[in-house]
Amino acid sequence: MHPISMVFFHGGAGFCGREEKEDTAGVFRLPESFRFPHRTGDGKRLPLREKDKGKDRMGPAGNTGSAGLPGGENMISFRELTEADQAWITACRDPRVHPFTALSFTSLFSWRRNYGLTVGGDPDFFVIRSLHDGAYYGPCGDPEKCRSFVRETLREEKHPHFLYLTKEQAQTMEQEGLHIVMRDDLSEYIYDVSSLALREGHHVAHSYKKKVHQFRNRIPYTVRPATAEDRELLTAIAESASLRTDFQDEQVWQTEMACFEQLELTGCVLETEDGRRAFNLGYPDHGDVFTLTMAKHEESLPSEVTAVMVCELAGMLEGRYRLVNMEEDLGLAGLRRAKLLYTPVDRLNVYEAIG
């Protein structure tokens, strides 16, 4: 959800068995089907709608037995996401229909506190409500329940707002009278693993290849996979690089370190011959797609180390994953240039529908 060249590309106590501080040629194309960073293009928070303020977050863990409707007697109940929802969210999200990594459990759970994310639904259906965006993400799961939720929302709400839609889904809502917008700032960049690993015969930008080779020729280093046992080391590197200047990033960091194994985080740790260190982390999204969410290095290392880390991680992912999702550029020109450096093979365009 944040730039690969910064901390993130993409907070309760006791989650996942660890303390979480209460610190409150051809181009491959993925199917265009029915994700989640949470800022406007200029980085500002959207104001909460008056009707959303103070709404309770109580509700069953996706097993209401109701039709999952937003209004009337069958009003859906929303509550905070917990680690126990992982299997439910994963089962309901069909990546052929909902390809955006923002709708993955790892993304939703990590950012739930920062963006006021709550969840409601049935065993075979869920929808996310974001107080930050004043919008619904999804819905995901049983097609008929998804359609029913959308219909009822259009009937019950004066200004309905749906986010993280594919073009096709947005156009369907446009037929219902909603205004649709392509969110260029939220659209996600997709890369070929073998290209990032600089394998022969795979196209990649010369500037990326040059950065990797220059660093390798100048600075001897070793690299290994990052594991849960590295949490203290990763935190030390992140803190040395001023992670804690951003309170929201710190909250996400606490969640992901507390739930490292459950969220299936993995990445690589690089250490130079003179002891300087860097790391990156991500998680399996679905099938043969891996999401790269964060990268950080000690400030004494040259910036080219980020490209080297991408290359090294891609080498580790080969054979298990074919594609890497590096998330969105937030509408920032510098971040967009950084994304393009790695030569994306596709981009998942995010749409929103507003009443």
Same domain flag for 196 and 338: yes
Question: pLDDT band at residue 13, thresholds of 50, 70 and 90?
Answer: very low
Question: pLDDT band at residue 239, thresholds of 50, 70 and 90?
Answer: confident
Boundary-marking domain end, from 144, 170, 187: 187
C-alpha to C-alpha distance for 23 and 330, rounded to whole angstroms: 25
Q: In total, how many domains does the chain have?
A: 2
C-alpha to C-alpha distance for 325 and 235, rounded to whole angstroms: 24
Residue at 20 is within a domain = no
Same domain flag for 178 and 259: no
Same domain flag for 206 and 315: yes
Per the structure, the complete domain to which residue 298 belongs is given by: 188-347
C-alpha to C-alpha distance for 263 and 32, rounded to whole angstroms: 26
Boundary-marking domain end, from 187, 216, 241: 187
Same domain flag for 179 and 196: no
Same domain flag for 69 and 205: no
pLDDT above 50 (res 57):
no
Q: Which residue has the tokens 């960049």?
A: 189
Instruction: Provide DSSP, 338-351.
Output: HHHHT--SEEEEEE
C-alpha to C-alpha distance for 36 and 255, rounded to whole angstroms: 17
How confident is the model over 201-226, as pLDDT tens digits? 999 999 999 999 999 999 999 999 99
C-alpha to C-alpha distance for 238 and 278, rounded to whole angstroms: 9
- Report the largest interatomic distance among the alpha carbons of the chain, rounded to a whole angstrom: 67
Q: How much is the mean pLDDT over the chain?
A: 82
Residue at 14 is within a domain = no
CA distance readout (Å), 74 to 85, 130, 148, 152 = 22, 20, 11, 10
Name 43's Cβ contacts closer than 8 Å, sequence gap at least 6.
Answer: 330
Q: Which residue has the tokens 């995901």?
A: 140
Same domain flag for 89 and 220: no
Same domain flag for 171 and 129: yes
Looking at residue 178, its pLDDT comes to 93
Same domain flag for 303 and 284: yes
Looking at residue 247, its pLDDT comes to 58
Q: Give the CATH number for residue 336.
A: 3.40.630.30
C-alpha to C-alpha distance for 196 and 342, rounded to whole angstroms: 7
pLDDT above 90 (res 11):
no
> What's the rounded mean pLDDT across residues 52-66?
38
> What's the rounded mean pLDDT across residues 141-169?
93
C-alpha to C-alpha distance for 36 and 300, rounded to whole angstroms: 32
Question: pLDDT band at residue 15, thresholds of 50, 70 and 90?
Answer: very low
CA 159 to chain centre: 26
Looking at residue 251, its pLDDT comes to 84
Looking at residue 246, its pLDDT comes to 58
Same domain flag for 100 and 239: no
Single pTM value for the model: 0.81
φ, ψ at 310 (rounded to 5°): -60, -45
Q: Which of 62-71, 229-238, 297-306 has the lowest mean pLDDT?
A: 62-71
Same domain flag for 338 and 194: yes
How confident is the model over 105-145, as pLDDT tens digits? 999 999 999 899 999 999 999 999 999 999 999 899 999 99
Task: Tell me the H-state helices in the chain.
Answer: 86-92, 105-110, 143-156, 167-174, 193-196, 206-218, 231-240, 247-258, 305-317, 333-341
Same domain flag for 206 and 153: no
Residue at 12 is within a domain = no
C-alpha to C-alpha distance for 1 and 38, rounded to whole angstroms: 8
